[in-house]
Amino acid sequence: MTDDDFDAGGNGDRDGNASDVSGPGNSDAVSDPADQLLVLPTDLRSELKEPLGPIETDPDALLAEVDDTLIAVGDVVTYHLLEADRRPDVALVDERTERETVDEEIREAVTESTNLEAVNPPAEITEDAVWALCEALERREPTTIRVDGEEDLLALPAIVAAPDGASVVYGQPGEGMVHVRVTDEIRDDIRDLLDRFDGDRERFWTLLE
């Protein structure tokens, strides 16, 4: 599983680069220890490099398969969906790609309608981020969450919290966009995965559910 870097040709970002969530990035964000819920263990990093759903390189083709709520994780994925005239119902962005600052065009496009903010350091899932995600899903209008840190791992709680039939989209390095259609089966798979994280899992599930 990775963040949002791709282009319509499936070659990563505009420079052909892409990043993943298999290790900590370079963000300076630091969570309050009381806010930290889950931490990605080392033995899961390689497993999270595998896509959780089919990969699509064409935003229009992907959107043709979207029937319900659309959640975008990452700046470049969000940008390409906006360029295809579809504003995600929930977008999670951190103004970075390949752990470098996104260019100004992308940053302005994806943060124009920022509604919520959350702190979520690399390789963590924080209470702040879970609260923001749940709040966004309850709203009746498109909501953008600007994350101070990294948004990559937030695709996982998004899949669990999203309604049946929703689409969660994130990027796969050098390949395109991963489209996860939310079903009971994929939700159970992600629950099992999250239960292997370190941290306060009981608190995490209480907040998310």
The annotated binding site for GTP is made up of 75-77, 94, 151
Edge-first strand listing for the sheet containing 198-199: 124-126, 36-39, 198-199
Pairs from 198-202 (Cβ < 8 Å, separation ≥ 24): 198/38, 198/39, 198/40, 198/41, 199/36, 199/37, 199/38, 199/39, 199/125, 200/36, 200/37, 200/38, 201/37, 201/38
**How many residues in the chain?**
209
Which distant-in-sequence residues (6+ apart) come within 8 Å of 145 by Cβ?
Answer: 90, 91, 92, 93, 114, 115, 116, 117, 118, 129, 132, 133, 136, 151
- Give the residue numbers of the binding site: 75-77, 94, 151
**Tokens 């969530």 map to which residue?**
21
For residues 193 and 156, the answer to whether their CB atoms sit within 8 Å is yes
Per the CB < 8 A criterion, the answer to whether 168 and 153 are in contact is no
Q: Cα separation of 42 and 45, whole Å?
A: 6
- Confirm if 74 and 170 have CB atoms less than 8 A apart: yes
